[in-house]
Amino acid sequence: MRCELYGAYTDLAKRFNRMRSPALRALISLTLFFSIAIPAKVNSATSAPTPVKIAIALEVGGVGDNSFNDAVVSAVRAVQKKYKISDSYIRVIPTDGTTADRIARLKFLAKAGYNLIIAIGADYATAIDKISKDFPDIQYALVNSKSVGALNVSCLVFAEQEEAFLAGVVAASSSKTLKVAFISDDSDPQKILFNSFRLGAIYGNKKVRAISVPFIDSPVDLNNAIKNGVDLIYSTRIIDGQVLDLVAKVNSKKNGKVWLIAQSPDQYFLKLPAANKEILVTLDKRIDRAIADVMALSISGGSILDIVDDENSIYGRTYNFKNSGLTLTYLNPVTAATKSKVTRAISEIKSGKVSTQG
C-alpha cells in the first residue's frame, strides 16, 4: 500500500514563476507560504491525486558525511514520515563531483518526473542554472548557496554574519585573557565574517581584542596566537579537523583552557567523540526547518520565493535568528553573564536594534 502526498505545480505557481514584479511576487509568496497547511491537491476532472516526487542530489561525500548531506537527508526523512510519503517517491543520488556528472544526474531526475529536486551546495550552481532552464516546470532548491537567479529555484541560505556576530559575543564575554581569534583565509567572504565577529566581540566586551588568524595549510599562526594568549577561537574552516586537533593538543597540556566555537552541520568533525569537551558552543543552521518549508510548499503546489538578493534576482529564503533558522547550542557551561549577554544579543538581532554587518 502506498501513502503519497500530492501537489506539484498549480496554475497559480506557474503564473507566479513568470512574474517580474518583486512587489507582486512578494505578495503572492505570502499566499503560497500560508498554503503549506493544505495536505494535497486533487485533479478535479478525475478526482485522482497526483503524487509529488522529491529527489535529493547529494554533495561529494554522500550519506554518512556528518555534514550537510546527512542533515538534508535526515530532514527529508522526517518530513516523509510526518506526511507518510512512500519511499518510492523519495530518491537520493550521489555525485562524483564533476560539473558534467551533476548536470547528467539532475537531467535524469528531471526526465524521471521529480517535481522537487533539492541540490546541496554551491557546486551545483552551474548544473541547477542549466537544468532549471531546460525543465522550467520543475521546482529546484539549492541548499547553502545563493548563486542561481530563477523563479523556479529556491536558494536556501543562512545568515552567516549573524552567526559570526554571535560567536564574537560568546567569545568576548567568555574570554579570561581578553584575546579572541577568528580563523580565516584571505577571501572576501571571510573578511566580511571577521568584521561581524569583531563587532560581536565589541558587543560582548569592549575590552577584548579580536584578531583574524590566517589558516591556509598550516596551524603555525594559530598555535602562535594561542601562545600569545588567545583562549577563545571561532572557526568556519570545514576542510579538516586541524583546528580542533590543535585545540585538543593545547588543552591536554593543562596550561589553561582554550575553547572552540564551531558551526553545525558545516564541520563534520563535530561528530567525533572527543569534540564536545573542546567546544564551548555551536552555531547551528536549521537545515530541518529549511527542508520542511520547501517540501511542504512543494506538496501544496507552491515554492519559496522570498527575495534573497534583489540586485541579482535571487529568490528563496534567508534563515536567521528572527525566523528560527539559526540557533545556538551550549556544549559546555558558560557564566550567567555570558548567557544573559547572548540572550540580549539574539533579541536585538531579531528586532534589528543591533547590526551584524557594521
Instruction: Map grid coordinates 572576501 to a residue.
Output: 188
Do 191 and 111 sit in the same domain of this protein? Answer: no
| Predicted confidence band of residue 50 (pLDDT cuts 50, 70, 90) | low
Count of the separate structural domains present in the chain: 2
CA-closest candidate to residue 324, choices 286, 274, 283, 278: 286
Q: Would residue 305 count as lying in a domain? A: yes
Do 308 and 276 sit in the same domain of this protein? Answer: no
Specify the pairing of strand 179-184 against strand 90-93: unpaired
Q: Would residue 99 count as lying in a domain? A: yes
Q: Would residue 156 count as lying in a domain? A: no
CA-closest candidate to residue 244, choices 222, 275, 200, 203: 275
Would the pLDDT of 78 be above 50? yes
pLDDT number for residue 22: 53
Burial of 167 (0-12, 13-18, 19+ CB in 10 A): buried
Do 72 and 106 sit in the same domain of this protein? Answer: yes
Q: Would residue 6 count as lying in a domain? A: no
Do 130 and 254 sit in the same domain of this protein? Answer: no
Q: Would residue 26 count as lying in a domain? A: yes
Do 197 and 345 sit in the same domain of this protein? Answer: yes
pLDDT tens track for 264-313: 999 999 988 889 999 999 999 999 999 999 999 999 999 999 999 999 99
Do 135 and 211 sit in the same domain of this protein? Answer: no
Mean predicted confidence (pLDDT) in 3-19: 38
pLDDT tens track for 274-285: 899 999 999 999
What is the C-alpha separation between 54 and 80, in angstroms, rounded? 10
Do 215 and 176 sit in the same domain of this protein? Answer: yes
What is the C-alpha separation between 261 and 251, in angstroms, rounded? 15
Do 45 and 139 sit in the same domain of this protein? Answer: yes
Do 246 and 298 sit in the same domain of this protein? Answer: no
| Residue 185 domain boundaries | 167-284+327-351
pLDDT number for residue 273: 81
Q: Would residue 136 count as lying in a domain? A: yes
Do 125 and 229 sit in the same domain of this protein? Answer: no
CA-closest candidate to residue 335, choices 272, 276, 281, 287: 281
Do 78 and 103 sit in the same domain of this protein? Answer: yes
Q: Would residue 155 count as lying in a domain? A: no
Point out the least confidently predicted range of 49-58, 257-266, 330-339.
Answer: 49-58
What is the C-alpha separation between 36 and 30, in angstroms, rounded? 11
Residues 6+ positions from 88 with CB-CB distance below 8 Å: 2
What is the C-alpha separation between 243 and 334, in angstroms, rounded? 21
Instruction: Map grid coordinates 528572527 to a residue.
Output: 322
Q: Would residue 261 count as lying in a domain? A: yes
Answer for the pair 248, 259: CB distance below 8 angstroms, yes or no: no
- We report the CATH number of the domain holding residue 43 as 3.40.50.2300
Do 22 and 68 sit in the same domain of this protein? Answer: yes
pLDDT number for residue 297: 94
